[in-house]
A and B are shown apart, each in its own frame.
Chain A
Amino acid sequence: MTQSLAKHTGSHSRKEAKDIHRVEINYRGIFQKRLGYNISHDIVYAAHSEGKTAFSNGRYSDDPQRNGIPCANFAFVSKSLGEEELEAIASAKMDVDEADLVLVLDDTLAKGLEPWGHYGIRPINQKVVEGSTILFVSRRKPEELKKLLEKKPFKYNLAVLPGDRSFAGLWYYRDDNSDIRFLGAVARIAPQVLDIETVVNYVRNKYKDEKRVEAAKEAFDSVVINEVTPDDGMVWPYEKPVLPAWQDFDEGIVVKSVKRGFKMGPRGQNRNPDFKRGTSKTQRPVVRFDTCIKCTLCWYDCPDECFDPTPDGLFDINYEYCTGCGRCAQVCPVNDCIVMVDELKFDNTKSPWEQYTKNPEQYVRVMEEKKGLTREVPSPVTGKGEQFIELKSSVPFKAKGVK
């Protein structure tokens, strides 16, 4: 038996039973692994507590042990189906075709995701269907996030739960009520999955702590819901790859690789076009080329080899490949020379060195505006959360650079 190629190349949309609510939970590897699991588990437990059938799983091909890589968990809830039927329909696949509710635990995922090589960068709202909702936890307005999504031919909703992304470690979850707030938000936007009464009872029984119940209620009240129409969003450059039939590729598991190559200047190194990994980042390093002392440490230490040497002895960054790990900012010996800045403040991955050389003063001014004066002090695995310091002023522009 042969199935049509369409089945595994994407265009199919199987008629699923109507009474299945598919929740996709998008999170970042390592930093949000526990949070993602807590949310999918809580949805299942809470639904189960009111007699619904529910189960959860993770997207099996993901690598949640890798820094920042986009990952997904799923929760499936049904009022009428039995366990076996629900599983046969919903769990037969490693990924969902469509989701009735998409949760996004980090708003920078709105710029797209590339969890795996050779499949391209896909939009965060790839799985939404007509009438469904995509929910971000974010400090941004729905209108700002809408612009980043893929244009869809139908109406659906974009909801924002006001708040910060919650980051922690691989094995622990920073107990900041983020998981509970998401449950409250789900009750508001998808009462058919969980209503607020169920959430309140579930949280109360689980924690015996009224403050946590309040967190769920607060989230329920503070969600902002905005309609997304076919006019919103952008035409996404993502093309779903067409996978070949067994007769149509080489035997012996041999694939094309990257040709060795190096030239001085931006984009000078040959890199793998089929797996860029840039969507792993929530922050990007911003370089003050004018104060750079050309010590080479950023270029030398970058685990993803994102720095390209330039003819003037500086180091350009290829943001398409930068995973935002922050290593360069850590090793840079110059005060405030490389600073990590929220990825959503940028709308392109153009060479920063080219922008700098074109107009050094303007580049520095624009970058300092994006940086602001708040600096995050890295506090890995202390469990204390982020610490911030406020600068009085930014480092002044050095017109002639550092000799």
Chain B
Amino acid sequence: MSTVAETQIKLTPEHDARPGASVRSRLQDLLPKIVLAPSFAATIVFVYGFILWTIYLSFTNSKTFPSYAVTGARAYQRLWRWTFESDPPSSWYTSITNMGIFGFLYILICLALGLFLAILLDQKIRGEGVLRPIYLYPMALSFIVTGVAWKWFLDPGLGLEQTLHQWGWTSFHFDWIKNKDFVIYTVVIAGVWQASGFVMAMFLAGLRGIDGEIMKAAQIDGASAFQLYRRIVIPLLRPVFLSAFIVLAHLAIKSYDLVVALTSGGPGGSAWLPSNFMYEFTFKRNEMAVGSASAVIMLMTITAIIVPYLYSELREKSR
């Protein structure tokens, strides 16, 4: 902000001689700000304003409707207590452990698979133009469509298991989607199917950006293909890893619809993620304070991941 103000001060005397041009150039200076102002104001109100509102609500006793009398941190106390109720698991405990399992596997497998596919596609093969969109298109589907399609595919009475039984392999057994201990892994499968093509596209762009000279030099020095990727290509892709990680992390944290469409919550609520918990408590159980508190905790978690990343990125740029 201060730099902008300074430039304006510097410019003003020069323009004073020609008042008409001064107005115009001042307008030109202001134009970006004027254009940005509405979206800036909208973001301030609808994102940050409502974040503050949610934080405020989490300290009230809001039930069906918001109530504005601050009554203390009872909602957080309840969540804290539920965090340690593992047997039988409380809904909150299930949600956060699922978040851990889902987030970890989803990001890891998407990165690994995306990179692997990108490396394969990068071998100057024929038909790349056909193959690339095939992997990328699942990203164009909404989570609801992905969820429903995989729900049918994984249902033992309809999809894969039933089909294989009809083909004669009657001992085949795959009922994860009906199993309280494994249902979260089906969410991982569907999520990975959807996002890994997108990660592949990111890595492919990164691979194309690597200078061919470096590769040639390494090959002349006698590096094997494995060493080439291990020592040179993957380290060079570091910025792509970081962007892919950020995209996947926020997809993981907000995947509410996938759980609903795929499992409708899972047997006994065993597929819940914190976002499901938040929606259930705020809108279905009329416990708005608890719902808000869980939303705040989700925000804190994201902040804890994003802020160090932004910090390290910005620090590197300023160097």
Indicate, yes or no, whether A interacts with B: no
B: residues with CB less than 8 A from A are: none
